[in-house]
Amino acid sequence: MFLKKWRKATWIAVVPFCTGTAWAEPAPLEAYGDLPGLEEVAISPSGKGLAIVGRMQGQRRLVVLNEQREPVVLSPIGDMKVRGLQWVGDDKVMLTQSATRSLGINFTADQYEFMGALVIPVGNGTKFWSVFGNSQSLAKSIYGEYGTRLVDGQWQGFFGGIEFALTRTGPEFVNGAPALFAVDMKDGSTRKVARASSGTARTWRVDAKGQVAATFDISEGGRWQITNAQGKVIANGVDPTGDVGLLGLGKDGSTILYSVESTTDGQNRWFEVPLAGGTPANFLADVNADGLYYDRTSGWAIGYYGGDSREAHFFDPAREAIAANVRRAFPKLHVAIGDWTPDFGHLLVHTSGNRDSGTWYIVDMKQLKADIVGDDHPLIGPDKVGPISTVSYKATDGLDIDGILTLPPGREPKNLPIVMLPHGGPASHDIAAFDWWAQAFASRGYAVFQPNFRGSTNRDDAFRRAGYGQWGRKMQTDISDGLAELVRKGIADPRRACIMGASYGGYAALAGVTLQKGLYRCAVAVAPVADLKTMYTTETRESGGSKMTWRNLRESLGNPAGYNAVSPRQYAAAADAPILLIHGKDDTVVSYQQSTAMADALRGAHKPYELVTLREEDHWLSRSSTRKQMLEAAMRFVIKHNPPD
């Protein structure tokens, strides 16, 4: 059964589908660089209410709509960095946010990204309040979200919190690690549910009744254990790199799921063990799953997503049939199920891909119809979306690789200037969907290729681990092998190629013009790693000297003795193309000093470069103004050094 043709029922004015020719003028660059028109969308349990973070009336706002799609909350949020949005019952919305804060010299890092949760009552005039905001003995930040539960008719949220005590000399931490607290979603009052640990890193999972079902502890040496509510150890082991952790409760709440990376073959496996105790068994062993979906009120696992397209699947046959029906209703598009009502009667669905720059729908399964909520990029109509496809090729050593190709709309795919755009991570991957960065360059006449090099997560664990120790080596040649394939197909002009990326992709961009030769006319590196030894030292220091951290880094990067050999900063004098460095000053993932050190090395070697500093921006380009600043600088630089015509 297929969904009926959808109707447009929008919360904001949606620009109609463009009717111009394939040669229509491209959208303004800011249409690509701006934050999406709809950043977050959530549906209430009854299906009657919608909560949205997006632009309305020319301003970025939090909007809550009632059943008639009239706003009952309309609050400007400015540059707030929103990390999540969900309903707590039908009368409250919870917005998760983060903020970068500078700390004193007694801390291991100069800056941290702190999380907070804001609770918004709907329709009764009650003021917004923040989790832990009224507590006199808890830090105002949250350290882990552990779900919401309906306990004795009252909604409670579960969060990690750090306690402190007031002394004559001022506040002092009771324990530097978080304890678990239940927060009454009606008035914000708190109750400690589980204590902190002084000797291990500790996390929890909470059952449908609001009780701690399982506690996970891992020591500095990698010794770990899972205990049940009675304190009985139900699983344990040793993982020196710390690649182990809780996933969540099983399908019926009687088991706990956890992941472990094997020390023998490196495979990441999921296990299920009864909470009462018993023998762990493999969970989803034959499925390429990236993550799990959970019921929001019980915490039980209800499905998973994974594979090349991160497709959603559900354990219940009726829900799986609904998901399959939704996928069929939007053929040839990337379809993501973002939220749902408990009965799966209403789903929030996001689509993107060819001729779709990102659209949100409410799918009503009872009436078999889908209504548009709004568009991510209302100025980028179907004819302005560059064609998206997957290209498969072989690396030099014969390994099968693929990547996402985005072509200029209305242009013959022949002998085009090209931008190579490797992803960050490197444990990530790109999919055949609308990508604002790739589409921006395609709109200006460039082919854009996003290679899923070895180390990416679109295949099995063996493919991911094939990237270990290959920074600047085979991971780098996987990218240039993709360029060679597009040249062989006649799509790309080898004399008109640039390389660009962020985070690990920024490292790859620098490596493409320092460690490699004669391939690219320019490089754009956003928040890049320029020196592996510095990154290794910084991350180890900021972890407090954690042995797990340095073991994990050595596993993924290889022996530190070889870091200089693959560090672009050490080869600045060998750079054979102009370099643009762009970095957020508030980056807590890759230090801003990585870019300034690279700039110093290039300047000392008399090599052409530019450095653009994004003020008050983090690693994820969370702010609209600086995201647009990044895109404008990158476009100007690439057009200057590699004109599209």
Residue percentage of the chain with pLDDT more than 70: 93
* Residue 13: pLDDT over 60: no
pLDDT at 541: 82
> Does the pLDDT value for residue 264 go beyond 60?
yes
pLDDT for the residue numbered 552: 81
410 and 382 in contact (C-beta within 8 Å)?
Answer: no
pLDDT of residue 6 exceeding 60: no
pLDDT band at 20 (very low <50, low <70, confident <90, very high): very low
Per-residue pLDDT for 108 more than 50? no
Reported confidence tier of residue 37, pLDDT bands at 50, 70, 90: very high
Low-confidence winner among 3-7, 148-152, 369-373 (lowest mean pLDDT): 3-7
Mean pLDDT (whole number) for 381-409: 97
Indicate if the pLDDT at residue 104 is higher than 60: no
Q: What local confidence, expressed as pLDDT, does residue 243 receive?
A: 86
**pLDDT value at 22 more than 80:** no
The per-residue pLDDT for 109 is 54
For residue range 290-338, what is the model confidence (pLDDT) as tens digits? 899 999 889 999 999 987 778 899 999 999 999 999 999 999 999 999 9
Distance CA 294, CA 286 (A): 20
What is d(CA 277, CA 264) in angstroms, rounded to the nearest whole number? Answer: 26
Q: How confident is the model at residue 102 (pLDDT cuts 50, 70, 90)?
A: low
> pLDDT band at 12, cuts 50/70/90?
very low
3 state DSSP class of 624: helix
pLDDT for residue 294:
96
Average pLDDT for 348-364: 96
Range 195-210 burial, b when 16+ CB lie within 10 A, else e: ebbeebbbbbbbbbeb
- Give the sign of the dihedral formed by CA 595, CA 576, CA 439, CA 485: negative
| pLDDT of 631 above 50 | yes
Q: What is the mean pLDDT of residues 200-218?
A: 96
Does residue 16 have a pLDDT over 50?
no
Mean of pLDDT values over 180-205:
94
Instruction: Establish whether the linkage from the previous residue to 76 is cis, with ω within 30° of 0.
Output: no
Closest CA to 156 of 210, 208, 109: 210
Residue 629 phi/psi, 5° resolution?
-60, -45
- Better pLDDT: 19 or 601: 601
The SS3 assignment for 386 reads coil
Instruction: Give dist(CA 244, CA 216) in Å, integer.
Output: 10
- Which element (helix H / strand E) includes 485? helix 474-488
What proportion of the chain, given as a percentage, has pLDDT over 90? 76
Q: What is the mean pLDDT of the chain?
A: 90
Q: What is the pTM of this model?
A: 0.91
Q: What average pLDDT does the segment 37-53 reach?
A: 95
Query: What pLDDT score does 435 carry?
Result: 97
Cβ atoms < 10 Å from Cβ of 141: 22
pLDDT tens digits, residue range 428-463? 999 999 999 999 999 999 999 999 999 999 988 889
Residue 14: the pLDDT is 32
Q: If you ran DSSP here, which 8-state letter would residue 641 be given?
A: H
Report the pLDDT value the prediction gives residue 170, as an integer from 0 to 100.
Answer: 62
Decide if 179 contacts 163 (C-beta within 8 A). yes
d(C-alpha 40, C-alpha 298), whole Å: 23
1 pLDDT band (50/70/90 cuts)?
very low
pLDDT tier at 265 (50, 70, 90 boundaries)?
Answer: low
| Mean pLDDT, range 475-502, rounded to an integer | 98
Q: Is 476 left (phi over 0), alpha (psi -120 to 50) or beta?
A: alpha
Region 401-423: mean pLDDT is 97
**377 pLDDT exceeds 90?**
yes
User: Which tens digit of pLDDT belongs to each residue from 385-397?
Assistant: 999 999 999 999 9
DSSP letters for 452-482:
E-TT-SSS-HHHHHTTTT-TTTHHHHHHHHH
Domains and CATH numbers, the chain: 386-531+567-641 (3.40.50.1820)
Distance CA 385, CA 366 (A): 32
Q: Give residue-wise pLDDT tens across range 549-561.
A: 778 888 889 899 9
Exposed, middle or buried by CB within 10 Å (0-12, 13-18, 19+), for 7? exposed
Per-residue pLDDT, 136 = 85
The DSSP line for 510-536 is HHHHHTS-SS-S-EEEES----HHHHH
In the sheet that 92-102 helps form, which strands lie side by side, from edge to edge? Answer: 81-87, 92-102, 111-121, 129-130
